[in-house]
């Protein structure tokens, strides 16, 4: 079932020109790849957090559809995603209560401030944590290396400066709420800190 949804996601994004990130011509970033990585983070969070009552199928489906709305534009993508899923659910005979709950998760996933609110559901918390964990740490370092490599006068110092502006910001806070989420974030912080320590030494800074 889930794989069929992933296929629908890819077909929809490609058909509407929404699979590639339009930001700074980052053709190496694809929404479908991001979604699969977020889905894997979600599975890790579910597995490694203490067992709690969870609507697992609903949050997994919400994860697959959470960014499909980028096919219709960046502004308001969460609402677009929710509406697209509602149409999909109707065509595939998904019950109305389940559809509405999944739509709530999709529509709310971009409001990361609600992570710290007590009334935020466990499902939405896991979805937002999984979304935040992607492209931080190792992937964030790679992203900035790829971005610097597009410059005609790219350099090690250029990469270093970019890393100071983006990946290093992960060291300033830990937005996670669940025990596993906090641990995963700390691991990313430690990786970035160690990498920058070695880079500083290698560049003689």
Distance (Å, rounded) from C-alpha 78 to C-alpha 127? 13
Q: What is residue 25's predicted lDDT score, i.e. its pLDDT? A: 65
pLDDT of 109 over the 90 cut: yes
Mean pLDDT calculated for residue range 26-41: 92
Q: What is the distance between the alpha carbons of residues 183 and 174, in angstroms, rounded to a whole number? A: 10
* CB distance 136 to 187 below 8 Å: no
C-alpha closest to that of 125 among 68, 182, 69: 182
Tell me: pLDDT of 1 over 90: no
Distance CA 134, CA 66 (A): 14
| Residue 125 CA: distances (Å) to CA of 39, 144, 174 | 14, 28, 14
Number of C-beta neighbours around residue 151 at 10 A: 11
Selected residue with higher pLDDT from 89 and 72: 89
CA proximity to 33, closest of 16, 19, 53, 47: 19
Give the gyration radius of the chain's Cα atoms: 18
Tens of pLDDT, residues 92-104: 999 999 999 999 9
Mean pLDDT confidence for 51-62: 96
Query: What distance in Å separates the CA atoms of residue 36 and residue 38, rounded to the nearest whole number?
Result: 5
CB 3 within 8 A of CB 59: no
Residue with tokens 């019950």: 95
Average pLDDT, rounded, for the chain: 92
Q: Which backbone phi and psi does 53 adopt, to 5 degrees?
A: -55, 130
């Amino acid at each position: 079932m889930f794989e069929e949804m992933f296929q629908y996601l890819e077909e929809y994004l490609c058909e509407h020109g929404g699979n590639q990130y339009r930001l700074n011509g980052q053709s190496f970033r694809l929404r479908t790849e991001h979604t699969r990585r977020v889905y894997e983070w979600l599975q890790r969070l579910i597995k490694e957090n203490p067992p709690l009552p969870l609507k697992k199928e609903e949050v997994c489906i919400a994860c697959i559809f959470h960014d499909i709305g980028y096919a219709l534009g960046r502004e308001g993508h969460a609402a677009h995603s929710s509406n697209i899923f509602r149409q999909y659910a109707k065509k595939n005979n998904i019950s109305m209560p389940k559809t509405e709950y999944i739509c709530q998760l999709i529509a709310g996933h971009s409001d990361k401030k609600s992570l710290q609110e007590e009334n935020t559901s466990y499902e939405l918390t896991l979805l937002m944590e999984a979304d935040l964990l992607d492209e931080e740490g190792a992937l964030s370092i790679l992203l900035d290396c790829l971005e610097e490599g597009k410059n005609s006068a790219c350099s090690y110092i250029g990469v270093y400066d970019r890393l100071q502006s983006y990946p290093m910001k992960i060291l300033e806070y830990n937005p996670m709420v669940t025990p596993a989420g906090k641990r995963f974030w700390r691991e990313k912080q430690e990786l970035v800190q160690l990498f920058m320590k070695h880079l500083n030494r290698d560049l003689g800074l």
